Amino acid sequence: MCDLSEFRKNWLSILMIVTSSWSSINIRHLEKATVSTGKEGLLSEGNAAYNWSRCVDELEFQLSKHGSLKKLYFYHQHLTVVFRNTMFGPEGRPQHCCAWLGVASSFPECVSPIVPEEVTKIGRDAVLYVESLIESIMGGLEGLTNILDSEGGFGALESQLLPEQASFHMNYASRVSIPSAKSPRGPVQLSLPGDESYPENNNSIKMLEAAMQRLTNLCSVLNDMEPICVLNHVFVLREYMRECILGNFRRRLLASLKTDNDLNRPTIMEAHLRRHVSIIHLAEQHVSMDLTQGIREILLTEAFCGPVSFLQSLEKPMDLNAGAAIEVVCSWLDRMIKEHTSALLNCIGTALRANRDLLESIAGSMHCGDRIERDVLLKQILDIDTVVGFCVQAGQALAFDCLLAEAAGSVLEEGAPLIKSLLSVVVKNIPHEVPEKKEIRRLRRVANNVGLVSDHDSELVRSIMEEIGGANSGSWSLLPYLFATFMTSNIWNTTAFNIATIFIA
């Protein structure tokens, strides 16, 4: 609206001049001189404009009196419903939350001076209105984050071969001429790099782009919003957003630790964490706060302070996994490695016993130099490819257990250096007795678990063999000859060896 009071002042000044007895301009002459072709003259038009300006000012006064945003208080419940239905709909925009929340600051103006009880009631309603809208906004923010952090979101981009893996499979497919290798799906049912650019995958990519755009826009708007003041309450949307993002990260972290029956595998947990952290880093680029520091604090708190109540299973009261996550996870890793290695050693021992006669004959032919007989015997070994796979898995399990023992030793040295020093001295002076006493065997295992025994793998295998009862079997003396037969396996034709990680795939 424009202010027309100056126009009225000027028009009254003109009328006073032309109607004055001292003026040389007669008002009737002015009216007749400005009339043309039957239209109204200047005087009539000026008077009409004067009356119209008074109507405009009266309308503006009425709008300011009865049409302000404070009257929306009486519709605040309907506003909440409309907000929830439109904010995150197809036509919703993050910028709308500023206007919807800003309305609440004018609600207390509706208080009647003659009804004191309205101060408390309207103030409480205004605060609840803001809290309800903030809850909806943060729920939408968490929903957008979880859409991206799902198997249909960024997870779909991860479930494809790495470029080097794809090149290996494509080269191998070209050599063996597999017709299905030209499909955009790899031989191992994983997408090849660039699979998301195929026309049939456009919808999923558009969905990801839309979710990313909404997430970044919403974070940017919430970061730039001014604090909302309602009576003596102040709502800072940036802090609500920070708590929402970090709280959701903590919940996703605890959820990824456990499956339906047991703890999740470390590789899966790491992939989930990396994916969620990448989404937080995407949002962090549009806010003026350090979310990475909050992630670091959550990881340290959940790992070392505990207790992690989410890991407790009420269905098994005797096996409650309470305490710090680092303690629970490490105990679980140690148990899983030993169980897995024990099963693999049992399979290898079964293979040794099944091929014992052949291996003894192979050993004899090697010592006597009969190459023809040795080649014939080597071809008779059963399931050689399967046994090679068992041995590779056992080696990987032993290597991982060695890394775990070294990490435990580093933590022990930092937290209790005197205990580690005492253990290292005691281990060097433990006598080698056959059979070993129970106390000595237990002490040696404790030292091996923190990486103080020089031959960690042998000590671990020996302890496992004692538990499964196969340490006294004579078949294990034929293990070197079994390893020698591995060179005749066809598995080496399709095996890649990574010298950087000492990994066979």
Rounded Cα–Cα distance for residues 237 and 134 (Å) = 8
Structure tokens at 461: 């295998």
Going by pLDDT thresholds of 50, 70 and 90, the confidence category of residue 243 is: very high
**pLDDT bracket for residue 244 (50, 70, 90):** very high
14-32 pLDDT, tens digit each: 777 777 767 666 666 666 6
Which DSSP state fits 128?
Answer: H
> Are the C-beta atoms of residues 244 and 138 closer than 8 Å to each other?
yes
pLDDT digits (tens, 9 = 90+) for 72-90: 666 667 777 777 766 766 6
CB 110 within 8 A of CB 119: no
pLDDT tens digits along 116-172: 777 777 778 888 888 888 888 888 888 888 888 887 777 766 665 566 666 666 666
Strand partners, 497: 504
Task: Indicate the domain borders of the chain.
Answer: 5-67, 96-310, 326-504
CA 453 to chain centre: 39
Q: Per DSSP, what are the bridge partners of residue 503?
A: 498
Neighbours of 106 (CB within 10 A): 16
CA distance 308 to 292: 22
Q: Quickly state the pLDDT bin for 410 (edges 50, 70, 90).
A: confident
- Inter-CA distances, 455 with 46, 185, 394, 436, Å: 108, 44, 16, 17
pLDDT at 316 over 50: no
CB 144 within 8 A of CB 105: no
Say yes or no to pLDDT of 501 above 60.
Answer: no
When pLDDT is cut at 50, 70 and 90, the band that residue 246 belongs to is: very high
Q: Look-up: residue for tokens 């009261």?
A: 317
Specify which residues 263 forms β-bridges with: 258
Instruction: Measure the CA–CA gap between 237 and 138, rounded to whole angstroms.
Output: 10
pLDDT of residue 263: 74
Question: What are the CA-CA distances from residue 75 to residues 72, 80, 101, 126 (Å)?
Answer: 5, 9, 14, 11
Pairwise CA distance, residues 346 & 324, whole Å: 33
CB atoms within 10 A of CB 478: 18
CA distance 114 to 456: 85
Residues ≥6 apart with Cβ < 8 Å to 432: none
Tell me, yes or no, if the pTM score tops 0.95: no
Q: What is the DSSP string of 27-45?
A: HHHHHHHT--TT---HHHH
Residue 310 banded pLDDT, cuts 50, 70, 90: very low
Tell me how far apart the terminal alpha carbons of the chain are, to the nearest angstrom: 76
What is d(CA 324, CA 328) in angstroms, rounded to the nearest whole number?
6
Question: Looking at 154-163, 208-217, 240-249, 466-475, which range is the least confident one?
Answer: 154-163
* pLDDT recorded at residue 314: 40
Give pLDDT, residue 38.
54
pLDDT band at residue 216 using 50, 70 and 90 as cut-offs: confident
How far are the Cα atoms of 74, 392, 394 from residue 389, in angstroms, in the given order?
73, 5, 9
- Mean pLDDT check: name the lowest of 248-252, 275-279, 377-381: 377-381
Res. 356: pLDDT tops 80: yes
Q: What torsion do the CA atoms of 21, 27, 28, 29 make, to the nearest 10 degrees?
A: 100
From residue 258, how far is each of 219, 315, 411, 503 by CA, in Å? 30, 14, 25, 27
C-alpha to C-alpha distance for 470 and 349, rounded to whole angstroms? 8
CA 257/CA 259 separation, integer angstroms: 7
Q: How far apart are CA 453 and CA 456, in angstroms?
A: 6
